[in-house]
Amino acid sequence: MSGKISFFKSVENYVDKAASYTDIPKGLVEQIKACNLVLQIRFPVRVNGDFEVIEAYRVQHSHHRLPTKGGIRYAESVDQDEVMALAALMTYKCALVDVPFGGAKGGIKINPSNYTVEQLQNITRRYTTELIKKNFIGPGIDVPAPDYGTGPREMAWILDTYQAFRHGEIDSIGCVTGKPVTQNGIRGRAEATGRGVFYGLREAVSYGDDMKKLGLTPGIAGKTMVVQGLGNVGSNTALISQLEGDVKIIGVAEREGSIYDPNGIDIEKLLAFRKETGSIVGYPGSKHIGDASAALELECDILVPAALENQITAENAARIKAKIIAEAANGPVSADADPILLKKGIVIIPDFYINAGGVTVSYFEWLKNLSHHRFGRLENRFHHNQFEGLVSKIEEMTGKTVGDRERDFLTRGGTEIELVNSGLEDTMITAYQQIRETMRQHPDIHDVRTAAFVCSLKKIASDYISMGIFP
């Protein structure tokens, strides 16, 4: 937050701007923007022989579709405004990528590294109990997931607590997503947000016309990238972009500082180095260029802020030299920095599109949970036999043999991870094409964020209108 306007207000302002390009009635825009339910919780935990009051929230921003959906973050920055803003972004995110949920978000105002695993488990279980008491969690009500400071471990605690209270509820495993694969999670969820960032970026840089305006050639291979934050989203974005897209990572920023190497940084090796030494600084071949925000100012094709909100503000915006900013974190560009960057001709690919991969695969996990079986289990063998028959027939008819590797590819049914990744890829590509089509229909919209909000708003408005609530 810049200190001038709240995070939630800045999301509202973006929506107002986008709404002005539509004919959605004003009252309906107000309803779409409003937070439907806000739960503020205070509960005690025992820490070192004393009690500590924990401040927590769950916000359900929009009930136009149910369940509501969104992560839970553990961070010192958590307050009501932040959780409301993030819940609102979830609504627009889900609509944009056709995930049929309303938006929600939860937050606990703690720094997880100040607590033992046992204390964190107590806090998570107590928070879940509060959600159950208020009917704020359930597979058809509100489905949490990981966010900053949480992961599969916390989701497993949430599931276990929920099931203890709702013993025998047949769909209870769908009360939370991002669970460990062994606890009814889905393969590919852990890296889904980073993988989605890669698919979204690859699509965005594939259009010759768009790239020409930036002085770039189309195609992801060889593009230079700077990543801020090596948490789940940042590290997976960097790894996958490097391995599958041939992207050159020239700068990385973490809490301890920023490093730069124009020849490219091997992310796998860098992650191992940090694990061993506790820092990215000193990584062989790289130059230490300053604090955690220094790398943001490096010259590069693609800048990926993947840490927390408000990293690019009015203070440093003028010094940003990237051509494209992919908002892998939620809200990394403050509202007052946005126009400065746009004026410089920088293309900002907004958070609620580019980081939608997480909730997309959460949706697949929820579908898997409700269907009570692993994708592909029923049909894989059947398809394999069918394809085998087909390949043999072709061999018989042509008198030629299909090689082993080719045969394997042609006859194998999709595994869970293959189905998840292809579903994610299709989702990210389709949503970007919709945003581009909106820009084509509205030549007076010059930024991707506004176009993406127009797409989302139209979909949400049509839901309300088809409910008969608005004419």
Catalytic residues: 105
Our CB check for ligand GLU shows the closer of 145 and 240 to be 145
Residues that bind ligand GLU (CB under 6 A): 69-71, 145, 147, 177-178, 330, 355, 358-359, 362
Write the CA distances from 275 to 112, 135, 149, integer angstroms: 18, 40, 17
Our CB check for ligand GLU shows the closer of 224 and 236 to be 236
Write the CA distances from 258 to 88, 300, 308, 331, 428, integer angstroms: 32, 14, 16, 21, 30
- DSSP 8-state symbol, 67: S
Start-to-end C-alpha separation, the chain? 36
The three-state DSSP-derived secondary structure of 85-100 is: HHHHHHHHHHHHCCCC
Contact 144, 72 (CB under 8 A): yes
How far apart are CB 189 and ligand GLU at their closest, in Å? Answer: 8
- In this structure, which amino acid lies at residue 363? Y
Partners of 303 in beta bridges: 226, 325
Our CB check for ligand GLU shows the closer of 330 and 450 to be 330
- In this structure, which amino acid lies at residue 55? E
Write the CA distances from 433 to 221, 222, 429, 451, integer angstroms: 20, 23, 6, 11
How far apart are CB 305 and ligand GLU at their closest, in Å? Answer: 14
Two structure tokens written together for 307: 């840490």
Contact 441, 212 (CB under 8 A): no
Write the CA distances from 76 to 99, 259, 328, integer angstroms: 29, 26, 20
Q: Residue 354's closest CA among 420, 428, 436, 248?
A: 428
**Closest chain position to ligand GLU (CB):** 71
Our CB check for ligand GLU shows the closer of 109 and 383 to be 109
How far apart are CB 355 and ligand GLU at their closest, in Å? Answer: 6
How far apart are CB 124 and ligand GLU at their closest, in Å? Answer: 15
Distance between alpha carbon 375 and the CA centroid of its chain, in Å?
22
Our CB check for ligand GLU shows the closer of 147 and 301 to be 147
CA–CA separation, 58 vs 74, rounded Å? 12
How far apart are CB 180 and ligand GLU at their closest, in Å? Answer: 15
Our CB check for ligand GLU shows the closer of 196 and 257 to be 196
Half-sphere exposure of 135 (CA within 13 A, CB side): 3
Two structure tokens written together for 47: 């820490």
How far apart are CB 70 and ligand GLU at their closest, in Å? Answer: 5
Our CB check for ligand GLU shows the closer of 127 and 260 to be 127
Two structure tokens written together for 357: 């991969």
Query: What are the residues whose beta carbons fall under 8 Å from the beta carbon of 394, sequence distance 6 or more?
Result: 402
How far apart are CB 375 and ligand GLU at their closest, in Å? Answer: 18
